[in-house]
Amino acid sequence: MPDQLSEPGPEEDYHVWHPFTQMGRFDREPQLVIDRAEGNVLIAQDGREYIDGVASMWAIVHGHGHPHIVNAIQEQAAKLQHSTLLGVAHQPVIDLADRLAALLPADLDHVFFSENGASAIEVALKMAIQFWVNEGFPDRKRIVAMEDAYHGDTIGAVSVGGSGPFRDVYEPLLFEPLRFPNPYHYRSSECAGADNCTCVDQLGEVLKEHQNEVAAVIIEPRVQGAGGMIVAPEGHIARIRRLCDEYDVLLIADEIATGFGKTGEMFACDLEGVVPDMSVLGKGITGGYLPLSATITNKRIYKSFYDAADDAKKLFHGHTYAGNPICCAAALANLDVFESEDILKQVRGKADFLAAQLSERLGDHPLVGEIRQQGLMVGIELVSDRETKQALPREAMAGWNVCLAARDRGVFVRPLGDTVVVMPPLAIETAQLEQICGAVTYGIDKIDESDHT
Ligand SMILES: Cc1ncc(COP(=O)(O)O)c(C=O)c1O
């Protein structure tokens, strides 16, 4: 591969086009090819080992290779590999829907399966719009979303996502949601901050003005992931729920990143005892092993589609591999592990340990503007000046360079711009958390030594 940035042209022998990756730079960076994984450790083809500090894109829950999940996959693969859900069922999907309905609160009882997070968001958006059509209110067709949101890469999901490079170039394909501010208090000039957050008040104003046009509000409860690990204050979800009730608007909780214990509760909405009208799950649903997602609705929504006579009321949606039996078997085994080991209690203890480590190592670091954490979801925002909160120059690619340096210390992490993300599997061990914090600190120190450029 070419090693000079000035050397033009693509690498001819390499045929993978990686997601969210500038291939022109990828060709020039040290290549990491993962061969296998054990527990919380990724093992590369060259034999080097890396702690999986981002749970393979926030997905892995009980570590790689958990025998109970692996066995369930193998057994199901030997029995039934695939069978459609279009008008036909199979036992693993029936069992999984039962288990999810029992796990989710109140009457969140009806489970619509897809294969990835973005698709499950598309389902939620389509359900919300069609719900109001079925109910006789076709003018309720607008979605309200938070600024800096991330709900996936498909057209509907990008539409409700925040502005910036994820969205702007695709503008001609998108619809425009109504918006309200996100609680990014570190940089917000409008909101009084976490103790007196007024971001939700603005949602109230939007709903008041557009009451008869709005179908649903969509949020990433408590933590906005890809927007920069932005942690909302206690009470934020409950206030949004109250406003949705006041204006009779559906609340969609995108728990694709926050679900399955990542925040310290099974679902982020549980942190505040909130029940959304739809909960959208993905990533960790199979323990992070296989592609599966779910849009789970309450009885009110399900009933509005349910009609023996009117075919037009059914949901016009369905993917070929939705609810694949091997994926469902993995998801059932994932839930078994949650039940048989006291995972959530352990997560809270690990989150406290991680907070203490980060504060000790990075709390006063001159390049660390803010450390945001909820459970095992962490964002470390780098700045060039703590006082002024001045960002680092973009071309310095500080976040990326910190993560590359962390690899020298046996840790794999990925940034979101200049926010370094740490989001390990729930099975992470305290010694591994120490190693992750040490490696990230080493990476940030290196940037500091190079005078930020
Ligand atoms: C909150 C949230 N919603 C949706 C998605 C999209 O999920 P997927 O990448 O499986 O389509 C993500 C992915 O990071 C996410 O964090």
Kindly report, residue by residue over 68-97, the tens digit of the pLDDT. 999 999 999 999 999 999 999 999 999 999
* C-beta of 259 in contact with ligand 1 (< 6 A): no
List every span in the chain annotated with CATH 3.90.1150.10.
32-62+342-449
Determine which residue's CA is closest to atom 8 belonging to ligand 1.
117
Give the contacts of 330 (CB within 8 A, at least 6 positions apart).
69, 72, 73, 76, 286, 287, 289, 290, 292
CA of 391 to the centre of ligand 1 (A): 26
CB 452 within 8 A of CB 396: yes
How would residue 1 be classed by pLDDT, with cut points 50, 70 and 90?
very low
Q: What are 291-310's pLDDT values in tens digits?
A: 999 999 999 999 999 998 88
The Cα 267–Cα 405 span in angstroms is 33
Residue to mutate (ligand 1; options 122, 279, 283; most atoms within 8 A of CB): 283
* C-beta of 60 in contact with ligand 1 (< 6 A): no
CB 295 within 8 A of CB 125: no
CATH code for the structural domain at 32-62+342-449 = 3.90.1150.10
CA of 185 to the centre of ligand 1 (A): 23
* C-beta of 255 in contact with ligand 1 (< 6 A): no
Determine which residue's CA is closest to atom 5 belonging to ligand 1.
152
Least confident of 177-181, 340-344, 358-362, 371-375: 340-344
Nearest-CA neighbor of 152 among 115, 182, 181, 116? 116
Question: What average pLDDT does the segment 275-298 reach?
Answer: 98
The Cα 50–Cα 435 span in angstroms is 10
Residue to mutate (ligand 1; options 256, 260, 262, 421; most atoms within 8 A of CB): 256
**What does the mean pLDDT of the chain come to?**
95
Question: Is 453 a residue whose pLDDT tops 80?
Answer: no
Confidence at residue 30, expressed as pLDDT on a 0 to 100 scale: 77
* C-beta of 257 in contact with ligand 1 (< 6 A): yes
* C-beta of 288 in contact with ligand 1 (< 6 A): no
| Percent of all residues in the chain with a pLDDT value above 90, rounded to a whole number | 88
Q: What are 145-178's pLDDT values in tens digits?
A: 999 999 999 999 999 999 888 899 999 999 999 9
List every span in the chain annotated with CATH 3.40.640.10.
67-340
Question: What average pLDDT does the segment 107-112 reach?
Answer: 96
How would residue 193 be classed by pLDDT, with cut points 50, 70 and 90?
confident
Pairing outcome for strands 178-180 and 142-146: parallel
Q: Tell me the CATH number of domain 67-340, given options 3.30.930.10, 3.40.640.10, 3.30.70.3000, 2.30.30.140.
A: 3.40.640.10
CA of 116 to the centre of ligand 1 (A): 8
How would residue 2 be classed by pLDDT, with cut points 50, 70 and 90?
very low
